[in-house]
Structure 1
Amino acid sequence: MSTEPATVVMVEYENASDEVRAVFDDIMATKGIGFVPNAWKVFAFHPPTLKRLWYGLKEVMAPGALDPKFKEMIAVAVSVTNGCDYCTRSHTGAARKLGMSDAEYGELLAVVGIFNQTNALAEAYKIPVDDVFMRPWSDQDG
């Protein structure tokens, strides 16, 4: 876990512009929390980035064909793979809040671990892609 300070000054709620404060309010209301997480305080250093990231994330993580818990579990998998401790912890907490069980978390990390291993080996060996996988999904055999 990083104990290093951010590379920019985090924008605290009380020091935020009206524009940033509106995004912070939306973050807290949407997440049902009473604080602004550090990531958003850092992203607020550049308000256009804050708005782009927050509203993009809000749209992508909204219920759709995939339910919110599953989306948070995907976010955990990507965060683990990318080595982002902050994101791994944040999305693990969000997935837990949405009902992710210990068994689901264990399986999720097992899948992440095995595919990180096999992907690394596939890249190292430069395994050629099977022709069948290069065709549109609807044209593939079993």
Structure 2
Amino acid sequence: MSSLKPIEYKDAAPEVKAVYDDIKSTRGVPDVNNFWKFIAQHPPTLARTWDSLKDVMSPGALDPLVKELLYVAVSVTNNCGYCVASHTAAARRAGMTDEMFGELMAVVGMANETNRLAVGYRVPIDPAFE
């Protein structure tokens, strides 16, 4: 457990409040979640991370649901419980069903298993894949 305390809006420096305001406005939420409150310990990291996340997760060639599903998959693999919870909730808001979540977890589990097998056996990449 972190010994740091979250930076609440009322206690935040002006540059942190500006990022919090943008997060709340962009996401349409009354407050920022704990992730942002803890990384606000270092305002440049807060601003950089929010700007990058906002850019990467905005609609593009991949729709928002696909991006959230990918985020959940990587978070599961990286064992980040916080990100799994946050992005599973976001994926549900974007339309993820229980069936989709089940299939996603099946793919994540299978990919992790076959990745470990390929690495363990040092399987060379087939020329057709290159």
> TM-score normalized by structure 1?
0.88
2:43 maps to what in 1? Answer: 47
- Deviation, 1:82, is 0.3
- Deviation, 1:131, is 1.7
Cα distance in 2 for partners of 1:74, 1:7 equals 31
Residue from 109, 113, 116 that aligns with 2:112? 116
Per-residue CA deviation, residues 52-90 of structure 1 (Å, 9 max, x unaligned), is: 100000001000111111100100000000000000000
Structure 1 unmatched ranges of 5 or more: 135-142
Q: Structure 1 stretches (4+) deviating beyond 6 angstroms?
A: none
1:137 maps to what in 2? Answer: none
Structure 2 unmatched ranges of 5 or more: none
The total of aligned residue pairs comes to: 130
Cα distance in 2 for partners of 1:58, 1:7 equals 28
Percent identity, aligned pairs only, is 55
Across the aligned residues of Structure 1 and Structure 2, the Cα RMSD in angstroms comes to 1.0
- Deviation, 1:133, is 1.8
Per-residue CA deviation, residues 73-109 of structure 1 (Å, 9 max, x unaligned), is: 1000000000000000000000001111111111111
Q: 2:119 aligned with 1:106, yes or no?
A: no
Residue from 94, 97, 116 that aligns with 2:90? 94
Residue from 69, 85, 88 that aligns with 2:65? 69
1:80 maps to what in 2? Answer: 76
